[in-house]
Chains A and B, each alone.
Chain A
């Protein structure tokens, strides 16, 4: 009652600090959302692949761009102990002209029909053997560019652009910050290497299903988990590091703001708290009241911030052009982090409260 009454009667002070906490929590949430969004842009298509492991050529440094595997290696990998299923995948980035003069970069992924890397089609139809100039294109990109099934995209094959048809839409996200576009692996070989013969790489990587394949190696190849593959996508670890640093900074600022605020209001109340202790309030009672306030301020601030963040995403950032993404889990964990930061920040004040000597009640002169 004491904690709540004080907040209700000192609305200005508590309102202001709640407002500041809201802004800080909002910042933390948006940064978290940006991190999630960037990660999604970096590799949802990789994470969405229906397998647990990826094989790379061993001198690629786990870069899909630099990895090149021969047919012999792909066979070698496919027959490695523990492998249940495998699918070679080719990757190349290409400029895609989706309307005369309008060009975007797409992540072209060459796949084999019927293999585990073939994506599920959500609209239109799947690729067939005869679709040498057919594409399955990511849903988000289709809506962003206003293209659709049956539309023609100009894709560079050698020096010339050739017409490719969107035969289906998939929901696989993006890869290397580019929309995923799936094609037959033979077509990918043509685009990537022009001449296709024995010396042409067979795939960039091989997707694998199986048991405990991590760390397996062979002639010029190595296997890692999909997770490791994801964190090795160029830029992902660095951007996650940046996002984490910003989050921790936000949490630190939150802890300090709450800490300083409660320190100051505790200082203002030292003599009152002394009187309350003198008339029989225990230190536990008073710190509980203090913690309740800290908890309410940080919880209210975080709840407002979560609402604000979701609202921002739904309005200002509704186009998918800005990669901010929220998941319930991310919002919850960030909210908990802000509340914990607030409580940690206020611990000093709680110590201060419990160390007040009730004798001061008798030492105040009018």
Chain B
């Protein structure tokens, strides 16, 4: 069984005239160690799908299994713990605590409970090293460059050794070269640590670095490059 399995996920926002069908029956599976890029035009449902996988939104219908567990049955507390323990998020921008240093941003996730702080300290140093952040470790996040910030965000996402890394437009605030470096670093971590990863991007060059590219259009998924039916 795949690590992540979505079956016929739909998501509808609003009602009546305001009704928007953001997802209209999405099924997909992602294996551990696999990096999947999700592309599609603006408004096609990419962020909605990522939010559902990350338990930030609940689907209107459909099922979602992660490691065999049905996330739809989770209550609020379980969803928080799921996001804390099973998922690592990397958002578009400004997602670090600005007044904490790079290293403190990593250790912060240890404060949310249920973690061995000693192990987290070792892991933080390891990740800082792997992501080329040793020098920047003691700098406040708001003093870091855009590329450094996104690498710190990737490190933070890996801190609690999650099953799944969810990435939303990680290079939106970066130029092409820096963006490519960040995605490359992410890819190495995903493969090296055998994580599953879903990365939303509108940048096809970045998407090409993933193992597989899925395209979403008007709330429906299809393999990238397949003709519009």
User: Which residue numbers of A lie inside 8 Å of B, CB to CB?
Assistant: 1-2, 5-6, 9-10, 271-272, 275-282, 285, 358-359, 361-366
The answer for the CA separation of A272 and B98 in the assembled complex, in Å, is 9
24 contacts between A and B (CB under 8 A): A2-B108, A5-B100, A275-B89, A278-B83, A279-B84, A279-B88, A279-B89, A279-B109, A280-B81, A280-B83, A280-B85, A280-B109, A280-B160, A281-B111, A285-B111, A285-B112, A359-B56, A361-B95, A362-B51, A364-B91, A364-B92, A364-B94, A366-B92, A366-B172
Of the candidates B93, B94, B111, B160, the one whose C-beta lies within 8 Å of that of A1 is: B111
Contact between chains at B108 and A9 (CB < 8 Å): no
- In the complex, which residue of chain A has the Cβ closest to the Cβ of B104? A5
A361: which B residues are within 8 A, CB to CB? 56, 89, 91, 95
Q: How large is the interface on B (under 10, 10 to 19, 20 to 34, 35 or more residues)?
A: 35 or more
The answer for the CA separation of A302 and B92 in the assembled complex, in Å, is 42
CB distance from A359 to the nearest CB of B (A): 5
B168 located at the interface, meaning its Cβ lies under 8 Å from any Cβ of chain A in the complex:
yes
B91: which A residues are within 8 A, CB to CB? 275, 278, 361-362, 364
B74 located at the interface, meaning its Cβ lies under 8 Å from any Cβ of chain A in the complex:
no
CB distance from A288 to the nearest CB of B (A): 10
CB within 8 Å for A6 and B57 given contacts A279-B89, A280-B112, A366-B93: no
Contact between chains at A362 and B111 (CB < 8 Å): no
- In the complex, which residue of chain B has the Cβ closest to the Cβ of A6? B99
B92: which A residues are within 8 A, CB to CB? 362, 364-366
The answer for the CA separation of A137 and B109 in the assembled complex, in Å, is 70
A364: which B residues are within 8 A, CB to CB? 91-94
The answer for the CA separation of A6 and B100 in the assembled complex, in Å, is 8
B81, B87, B97: residue with the most chain A Cβ atoms closer than 10 Å? B97
Interface of B is mostly: mixed
Of the candidates A10, A282, A362, A366, the one whose C-beta lies within 8 Å of that of B56 is: A362
A365: which B residues are within 8 A, CB to CB? 92
Contact between chains at B99 and A10 (CB < 8 Å): yes
The answer for the CA separation of A326 and B218 in the assembled complex, in Å, is 73
The answer for the CA separation of A279 and B157 in the assembled complex, in Å, is 8
- In the complex, which residue of chain B has the Cβ closest to the Cβ of A282? B80
Contact between chains at B57 and A359 (CB < 8 Å): yes
A9: which B residues are within 8 A, CB to CB? 99-100, 140
A279, A361, A363, A365: residue with the most chain B Cβ atoms closer than 10 Å? A279
Contact between chains at B80 and A2 (CB < 8 Å): no
- In the complex, which residue of chain B has the Cβ closest to the Cβ of A358? B56
CB distance from A56 to the nearest CB of B (A): 65
Given A277-B80, A362-B92, 10 new contacts (CB under 8 A):
A5-B100, A280-B83, A282-B80, A282-B113, A285-B111, A358-B56, A359-B51, A361-B56, A361-B89, A362-B56
The answer for the CA separation of A281 and B156 in the assembled complex, in Å, is 13
Q: Mark B111-132, 1 if CB is under 8 A from A, else 0.
A: 1110000000000000000000
CB within 8 Å for A282 and B77 given contacts A358-B56, A362-B168: yes
- In the complex, which residue of chain B has the Cβ closest to the Cβ of A357? B56
Tell me the chain B residues, 39-71 only, with Cβ under 8 Å from chain A.
47, 50-51, 54, 56-57
